[in-house]
Chain A
Amino acid sequence: MSDEMHKTPLLDELEKGEWPSFVTQMKEMGKTNPMAKDLCGQLEKSYEDKITHWKHGGLVGIQGYGAGVIGRYTNLGQFPALQGGFHTVRLHQPAGWFYTTEALRGVCDIWDKHGSGLLNMHGSTGDFVLLGAPTDNLEDLFTDYLNAGWDLGGSSSDLRTPSCCNGMARCENACFDTMALFHDLSMSYQDEIHRPAFPYKFKIKISGCPNDCVASIGRSDLAIIGNWKDDIQVDQAEMKAYADAGKDIAGEVIDLCPTQCMAWDGSELKINNKMCNRCIHCINVLPKALSPGKQSGATLLVGGKAPILEGAQLASVMVPFVEAKAPFTEIKEFIEKLWDVWGENGNNRERIGEFILRVGLGDFVEAIELEPDPNMVLHPRENPYIFYEEYIEEGDEE
Chain B
Amino acid sequence: MRQGRPGLLRETVRDCLRSKDYGQVLRIAREERRLVRTLTSLLYDGEPLVRWRAVSAVGRLAAAEPEKVRPLVQRFIWWMNEESGGIGWSSGPALGEIGRMAPELLRESARVLVHFRAERMILAGVFWGCGRVAATYPETVKEAVPELLTWLADPDAGIRGTVAWALGEIGDERARNGLEGLLGEGKKVLLYEGEELELKETGTISAEALEKISAGCVINDRTL
Contact = CB atoms under 8 A, between A and B. Distances in A.
Contacts of A345: 71
B83 A348 contact: no
A69 B7 contact: no
A344 interface: yes
A155 B44 contact: no
A67 B86 contact: yes
Interface residues of A, number: 42
Contact of B86 (A157, A340, A344): A157
Interface in B18-43: 33-34, 36-37, 40-41, 43
B219 interface: no
A188 B10 CA distance: 13
B151 interface: no
Contacts of B68: 344
Q: Which of A69, A344, A345, A348 neighbours the largest number of chain B CB atoms within 10 Å of its CB?
A: A348
B41 A197 contact: yes
Interface stretch (A10-18, A27-35, A55-63): A55-63
A167 interface: no
A61 B89 CA distance: 10
B87 A61 contact: yes
Contacts of A349: 78
Contacts of B10: 191
Contact of B44 (A58, A65, A70, A336): A65
- Chain B facing A: main interface SS: loop
B215 interface: no
Interface in A319-373: 332-333, 336, 339-340, 343-349
Interface string B199-223: 0000000000000000000000000
A191 B41 contact: yes
A69 B10 CA distance: 24
Contact of B85 (A69, A197, A347): A69
Contacts of A188: 6
Contacts of A157: 75, 78-79, 82, 86
A344 B82 contact: no
Contacts of A339: 34, 37
Contacts of A69: 85
Interface of A: 56, 58-61, 63-71, 88, 90, 155-158, 188, 191-192, 194-199, 201, 332-333, 336, 339-340, 343-349
Interface of B: 1-2, 6-7, 10, 33-34, 36-37, 40-41, 43-44, 46, 68, 71, 74-75, 78-89, 118-122
24 contacts: A58-B119, A59-B80, A59-B86, A59-B88, A59-B121, A60-B87, A64-B46, A66-B87, A68-B85, A70-B85, A88-B85, A155-B85, A156-B86, A156-B87, A157-B82, A188-B6, A196-B79, A196-B86, A197-B37, A198-B37, A199-B75, A343-B36, A344-B33, A348-B71
Given A56-B83, A64-B46, A191-B41, 11 more contacts: A59-B87, A59-B121, A61-B85, A66-B89, A68-B85, A191-B10, A199-B75, A336-B2, A339-B34, A343-B36, A348-B75
